[in-house]
Structure 1
Amino acid sequence: MDSRGDEETSGPSGNEADMASVMGFSGFGKKARTFDLDAIFEQTRRTAIERSQKAIEEREMEDVRKQCAEASVSSKTSGPSGRSKAVPSASSRTQESASSSDSEEDSEEEQIGPPLPPQMARGGTAGKQESDGDEELVGPLPPGSRKQEEDSSDEEAADEEDDTPVKRIPDTHEITLQHGNKTVSALGLDPSGARLVTGGYDYDVKFWDFAGMDAALQAFRSLQPCECHQIKSLQYSITGDVLLVVAGNAQAKVLDRDGFQVMECVKGDQYIVDMAKTKGHTAMLNSGCWHPKTKEEFMTCSNDGTVRTWDVNNEKNHKSVFKPRSQQGKKVVPTCCTYSRDGKLVAAGCQDGTIQIWDRNLSVHTKFHCRQAHAPGTDTSCLAFSYDGTQLASRGGDDTLKTWDIRNFRKPLNVATELATVFPMVDCCFSPDDKLLVTGTSVKKGEGTGKLVFFDRVAFQKVYEIEVTSASVVRCLWHPKLNQIMVGTGNGLAKVYYDPVKSQRGAMLCVVKSKRKEKQAETLTQDYIITPHALPMFREARQRSTRKQLEKDRLDPMKSHKPEPPVSGPGRGGRVGMHGGTLSSFIVKNIALDKTDDSNPREAILRHAKEAATNPYWVAPAYSRTQPDPVFAEVESEDEEADKEPEWKKRKI
């Protein structure tokens, strides 16, 4: 009885369970099923191992059967004809089977991997046929043969050619993008390599879409985000959705992929002495870049002597401030800045030739500091970390390119000289394989050719150079995914170098497209406005076909702006149809030009004087009563005039 009562109290009765299932809330009190993922993964791993072992054992058994069958066939054929074979006894059979089983077990224990083919197992003699002349090999080549050595040597030579870094430079083809007439001072390419952006001294920022361009190579958008300020730096974020614009003003801007503004940094108070107390920059910006790991953080440096980090979501204040200082503790202007590859270090090149590196989380004291990295008083134009993060390359205003070891920052590893620099933003960058270092050279106008110079990272010797154009090479960018090199020059050109074999996408997408032809008739089309509730007399006819509508608009003189034809006949509507249809031409033709050819116009006028005096008709009758008689002065001789002069006017002789 007790047990029955317990059962009744522990769970619902049958009627209640049926009612709960009918009402739809029978499963409300049940607990959710839980799964042990570790146990499931372990079971899956064990099943995979067992299946692979079983497949290997089956493959080995098939190989052993094939070998036994071939051995039996060879033993039958090798015996002499007509000779009987001795049948072994039971004891000998057992001994042989035992020895064979022992040998098979030993061979199975010693053998690793799949068994050798039967020909190789028998020493390779079955595939060799000897003849009186040359030997021919039917089976696989022995490892020491001459032909195999030649093939291997050719493959090694080809591999060595491919391994040389110079062979990997994509410079067989190029395209030229016309940005403008002034210097291209900024280049940016998104991480996917689909969109290129250029900025210059003409204040313009142009967007180029490789997938949307044709062979005309026209930018799809041009804007001036910072009004009348030269563009210093452009860079896409690590996600490629926003673009950092650094210009000659004190406020950096962030734009989206279509050029619309996302945020603008706040300007600081220029009357505050301590730059760490103000919220933003107070002087012209010099450079900027995105954080390589955090998509919302970027960094800028300015002439106010600070390097500031920002957050895209907070435009009212900076995140942190780094203040470069000279050896005497005075303020130094940073000209370029960058993050390390892991984003833990912040590096800045300064106007006094120093390179100062901070820990990103410790902004007071520098972690690495080189006082004489470049000549004092020169602007360091670029800093770039290698892909492995162990070396730093610096492009100085003293016409040098240097590499530094982060672990020993006192002396440079290598130095390259005689690299002319004119612009304060000349780039240097590492190749995608981290074996080459690239930079550009500057030239004066009409005095040479700007070059793109490639240095070997280890030996630091100039291994290759590309003559770009008859102007300075300012910016250079080597995209790792596209394997294409973008170059900005001093004469307003942006060039893209690529190789159809070694490169992919990018410029190769637009050079194969033909130029689109512009349709002249498109200017006549008008938008069709739908007015469903308009009266029939005001309702527009529905547009049936674009072609018919264009033909109809062409016949309409108002929509097609058809010029008025010349007037034929006497004229109409206030227009005179004589000689060009203007009033002046009519007057010249009918009134001003007299067809009589008088050689002397005075005589032609005076021939009517006698008739006018005797028979006045036009002027004289109107004034006959009121016109006084004309009185003319008498003409006197010179002697009489001299006598009438007063005494004081006479000349004394």
Structure 2
Amino acid sequence: MQRGKISFGKIQLNINQPPDGPNADANEDGKESGSSGGGGFKKMDKQQMIRQIEDVAEDLESQHLKEVMGISGFGRKAAQVFDINEQIAKAKITRPGVEKKREVPEQEEEDVIGPLPPAAVEDSKQGCKDEATNKVEDSDDDCSSDEDSDDEQSLSKRIPYTHEVQMQHGSRAVLALAGDPSGARLVSGSIDYDMCFWDFVGMDSSMRSFRQLQPCENHPIRSLQYSVTGEMILVISGNAQAKVLDRDGFEKLECCKGDQYISDMSRTKGHVAQLTSGCWHPFNREQFLTAALDGTLRIWQGLKAKEQCQVIKTRAIGGLRTNASSCNFNRDATLIAAGCVDGSIQTWDTRKMFVNTTHCVRGAHQKGAEITSIVFSYMGQQLATRSNDETMKLWDLRKFKQPLNTWNNLYSRYDTTDCCFSPDDRLLVTGESLPKDQAEANLYFYSTKSFQEVQRIPVSNSHVVKTLWHPKLNQLFVSCGNGTIKCLYDEKRSIRGATLCVVKTHRKRQQMEMVGISQIITPHALPLFRQEKSRSSRKKMEKARMDPVKSKRPDLPITSGQGGRVASSGGTLSSYVIRNLGLSKRVDDDQDPREAILKYAKDAAENPYWIAPAYKVTQPKAIFSEKLPTDTEPSTKKPRTEADN
């Protein structure tokens, strides 16, 4: 029986070709397969075969397709079971130009060497339909995800203010507030000289600080800030010397004070007037910046430095001296910005000499009104300033002559009232002092793009001084004029921080009663009335340990007894032998041994057991020694004389 033969040649991968083409007719008739299959081995001469084999070997793309199709060579190993849809998907990933090649005519498509499975065309059609449906579904998913992202991007929903927690610092206004970069701790300073440390991990729902101290004696705390690593805290107070504390509040550095009788402030070792502001370097943990009312900004380097390393002078119109009320670094530490009392904003490039300003905007705010805060955005392209002239302005560093927008009617009583950016730079937040005609002070949220008011949150019936939006916790901390600190957070969007404290219940401590003992020292008192000398606690403890009553010593184990009964005395080996081996009855060791023996004399005489039976035959009657008569007693002993010697 003659069967049809399959010849191998160049087969084009035409996925869209119907199964009833000329190749299908040729495959049905084995004899015609060699002629209509694109050229078989019978009609090919050797040179053409060699030329085709060389072309195939040189064609790297076809070799790659062979590996993708799972065909390693001619013969039985070439006919492997594989999924055409999976192979097409792999070819899409490895060859990004496959989809574009589908639009090219058939003659320009790349040839594939090897047999094509009979169900390949149907599978490829089904794969194309599946891909089309997947594209439609993906486009629908993209549209829905875009809608969700639009909902998430609504600015009012980005503000974490659904829940509120209150912390009590004291009774006076809280002027300074700073958060640890990791979000584990918070520090606050007030006008009553106190500085409180708050630990979110150790606090419970009572929200009490774990440490309170006065680092600068009788000076109010104006500004606080953690270093970039969170190891140290910069304390700016009302005196001329800034301090650096460690994480637990212990002093690490106190800046030196300058000579107030020297007119040139660049020749003094430190500030000579009250500090107004200060901040850490963004990425140098030992460098910080301070501003004071002596008309200078000073850069300090290291914790052992006795004087500053750089002095920057703020100048008014005409070269006169003006004081800086706020200062700050930008995010990459290339600019230093200062807000001055004369209403000007001045910046310096840290890569150049601090002689001339990089930017100087005169009349940025009202003259004589302090610029209480100057903050760079996280992207570094925008700058926000807050002033006591009841305004807040947003500036673009690329066009620094005019502000982008000005917000008015923001009443402020404190020279430390600040503003801050949201972590995504889309919102600008500030607080207001309580006006006379209002019941509560508000927290304002403005958009940095549309400049519209997004949200207004009433905070307290007192002034709002400091505002801190922590980027890692996504929580808002607001300090008030009545000594309270309020934390606003969202249960879904906020993490750690105050959310760890509200779930912990407050446990009351047991009250301990302590009675003081007064000691009267009488060195010449009689021994009867003499008191013991006061000893150390260790000696008292050792003495009490030896006393069985004070140490509450338990009863010692029983070491003597028999049959469950405790012997009154006797724990030796002899008493044990007598009690168990020698006698059947119990013998008390505390009685007279003579009486104990004589009480058996009558019984021993009547019923002898040990000695009498042995002498019963030879000596039936016992003979005992008797006393001599008194007459035969010898006379008194004669004294010894010399003749006897």
Q: Is the partner of 1:157 in helix, strand or coil?
A: helix
* Aligned mates of 2:144, 2:550 — CA distance in 1: 73
* Aligned mates of 2:345, 2:40 — CA distance in 1: 82
Give the structure with the higher percent helix: 1
AA at the equivalent of 2:200:
F
Provide the residue aligned with 2:39 in structure 1: 95
Q: Is the partner of 2:156 in helix, strand or coil?
A: helix
1:441 aligns with 2:432: yes
Q: Is the partner of 1:286 in helix, strand or coil?
A: strand
Q: Is the Cα contact below 8 Å between 1:341 and 1:385 reproduced in 2?
A: yes
Deviates more, 1:390-399 or 1:528-537: 528-537
* Aligned mates of 1:127, 1:258 — CA distance in 2: 66
Deviates more, 1:100-109 or 1:346-355: 100-109
AA at the equivalent of 1:200:
S
Provide the residue aligned with 1:264 in structure 2: 254
Residue 208 (structure 1) shift: 0.4
Residues 142-221 of structure 1: pairs in structure 2 closer than 5 A: 142=133, 151-221=141-211
Provide the residue aligned with 2:458 in structure 1: 467
Provide the residue aligned with 1:419 in structure 2: 410
* Aligned mates of 2:390, 2:548 — CA distance in 1: 71
Q: 1:93/1:544 Cα in 2 relative to 1: closer, same or farther (>3 Å)?
A: farther
Residue 517 (structure 1) shift: 2.3
Provide the residue aligned with 2:93 in structure 1: 113
Provide the residue aligned with 2:337 in structure 1: 347
Q: Is the partner of 1:158 in helix, strand or coil?
A: helix
Q: 1:152/1:298 Cα in 2 relative to 1: closer, same or farther (>3 Å)?
A: closer
Q: Is the partner of 1:240 in helix, strand or coil?
A: coil
Provide the residue aligned with 1:292 in structure 2: 282
Q: Is the Cα contact below 8 Å between 1:444 and 1:471 reproduced in 2?
A: no
* Aligned mates of 2:446, 2:161 — CA distance in 1: 15
- Structure 1 gap ranges (5+): 1-67, 129-136, 546-653
Residues 292-311 of structure 1: pairs in structure 2 closer than 5 A: 292-311=282-301
AA at the equivalent of 1:190:
D
1:378 aligns with 2:390: no
Q: Is the partner of 1:336 in helix, strand or coil?
A: strand
Q: 1:148/1:225 Cα in 2 relative to 1: closer, same or farther (>3 Å)?
A: closer
Q: Is the partner of 1:520 in helix, strand or coil?
A: coil
| % identical aligned pairs | 43
Q: Is the partner of 1:276 in helix, strand or coil?
A: helix
Q: Is the partner of 1:352 in helix, strand or coil?
A: coil
Deviates more, 1:314-323 or 1:428-437: 314-323
* Aligned mates of 1:269, 1:351 — CA distance in 2: 23
With normalisation by structure 2, the TM-score equals 0.64
1:367 aligns with 2:311: no
AA at the equivalent of 2:331:
R
Residues 252-651 of structure 1: pairs in structure 2 closer than 5 A: 252-360=242-350, 361-444=352-435, 447-521=438-512, 529-531=537-539
Q: Is the Cα contact below 8 Å between 1:141 and 1:148 reproduced in 2?
A: no
* Aligned mates of 1:188, 1:246 — CA distance in 2: 12
Residue 285 (structure 1) shift: 0.9
* Aligned mates of 2:541, 2:514 — CA distance in 1: 29
AA at the equivalent of 2:504:
K
Q: Is the partner of 2:355 in helix, strand or coil?
A: coil
AA at the equivalent of 2:223:
S
Q: Is the partner of 2:493 in helix, strand or coil?
A: coil
Provide the residue aligned with 2:636 in structure 1: none
Provide the residue aligned with 2:217 in structure 1: 227
Deviates more, 1:516-525 or 1:371-380: 516-525
Residue 405 (structure 1) shift: 2.0
Residue 249 (structure 1) shift: 1.0
Residues 14-33 of structure 1: pairs in structure 2 closer than 5 A: none
Q: Is the partner of 1:95 in helix, strand or coil?
A: coil
Greater radius of gyration (CA): 2
Residue 504 (structure 1) shift: 1.1
Q: Is the Cα contact below 8 Å between 2:174 and 2:483 reproduced in 1?
A: yes
Q: Is the Cα contact below 8 Å between 2:34 and 2:40 reproduced in 1?
A: no
* Aligned mates of 2:357, 2:330 — CA distance in 1: 14
AA at the equivalent of 2:508:
K
Q: Is the partner of 1:310 in helix, strand or coil?
A: strand
Q: Is the Cα contact below 8 Å between 1:445 and 1:471 reproduced in 2?
A: no
- What is the number of residues matched between the two proteins? 461
AA at the equivalent of 1:342:
D
Q: Is the Cα contact below 8 Å between 1:341 and 1:389 reproduced in 2?
A: yes
* Aligned mates of 2:308, 2:463 — CA distance in 1: 35
Residue 522 (structure 1) shift: 8.0
- Structure 2 gap ranges (5+): 1-12, 42-48, 67-87, 100-116, 518-535, 554-645
Q: Is the Cα contact below 8 Å between 1:439 and 1:476 reproduced in 2?
A: yes
Residue 256 (structure 1) shift: 0.9
AA at the equivalent of 1:168:
R
Q: 1:396/1:167 Cα in 2 relative to 1: closer, same or farther (>3 Å)?
A: same
AA at the equivalent of 1:501:
K
Q: Is the partner of 2:507 in helix, strand or coil?
A: coil
Q: Is the partner of 1:508 in helix, strand or coil?
A: helix
Q: Is the partner of 1:517 in helix, strand or coil?
A: coil
